[in-house]
Amino acid sequence: MATLQLPMRALPRQLLLRSLRDERALLTFVLMLSSGFAVSLLAARVLRSGGWEYRFLVWNLFLAWMPFWLALEMEVLDRRQARRLALLATGVAWLLFFPNAPYIITDFVHLRQRAAVPLWYDILLLTAFAWNGLLLGFASLHICHRIVARRAGAGGGWLLVVATLFLAGFGIYLGRFARFNSWAFLSSPLPLLGNIAGRLADPLSHPRTWGVTTVQFAIAVSSSVNCSIGFSSNLSPKTATRSGMFVTPGSKVSTPFVDA
């Protein structure tokens, strides 16, 4: 038995890509479990009370999943070195749907005491859905941040994060108060653009717009910082371990083989 020393750079590219896919599969599975828990809370509430007051949460959670799936598609396109136009189109769709993820935290406006269900349960229910929305949004943001950072450098990556979070705050205002949705750009672009232009042209006349946007932006930044701890950009030792091999940056890989 002999040992062949291979430098880190000689690791097959397919091994690293498989590690990345395994990481994404695990993340998706955990997010699905978490979302399933939130939906089960709603199902238990319906069985207990017979009321469907919070059925809209399921639709909102579905919309919160959209930016995550789009971010995964962007990662596939980036890995396959697809045309920039395809990557850009998917990125625009991701940006349009991204506000749907943190938007769920505004569903607390529907919270009130109801006879059939204790208030604490509805607080738990709304918190579960809001938490999943934030997780899905910032998981997708982390993926897109990595893609842009690889292509445009660290500065470009962080510019994307800050711009996305601010636009998301503005998008949440448009959704909650102006009642526009993500596909309004296609279904009713003129009213939407006119609404946006009026607020940009005379911001001092719309204090609630920019107050809500600023507060949502601050919440999003705080949540993003906390979520970034869990969505580390470096491969963990476990994901770098395959077929008995353990990899650390700058290390060599020992591959056993039998001499003929």
DSSP 135-197: HHHHHHHHHHHHHHHHHHHHHHHHHHHHHHHHHHHHHHHHHHTS---TTHHHHSHHHHHHHHH
254 has pLDDT over 70 = no
What is the predicted pLDDT for the residue at 226? 67
Q: Give the residue-averaged pLDDT of 27-40.
A: 94
Count of structural domains within the chain: 1
Q: Give the residue-averaged pLDDT of 65-91.
A: 91
Q: How far is CA 45 from CA 57, 104, 126, in A?
A: 13, 18, 12
233 has pLDDT over 50 = no
Looking at residue 213, its amino acid is T
Higher pLDDT, residue 186 or 86:
86
What is the predicted pLDDT for the residue at 37? 97
CB 107 within 8 A of CB 132: no
Write the pLDDT tens digit of every residue in 170-227. 999 998 888 888 878 778 888 888 888 989 988 888 999 999 899 888 888 877 776 6
In a domain, 231, yes or no: yes
Rounded to a whole number of angstroms, the distance between the first and last alpha carbons of the chain is 10
In a domain, 168, yes or no: yes
In a domain, 253, yes or no: no
Q: In which domain, by residue range, is 211 found?
A: 8-190+198-244
CB atoms inside a 10 Å sphere around CB 141: 27
Write the pLDDT tens digit of every residue in 96-149. 999 999 999 999 999 998 888 999 999 999 999 999 999 999 999 999 999 999
In a domain, 252, yes or no: no
Cβ neighbours for 204, distance < 8 A, ≥ 6 positions apart: none
Q: Return the ∠ at Cα 67 (arms to 63 and 69), rounded to 5°.
A: 100
In a domain, 254, yes or no: no
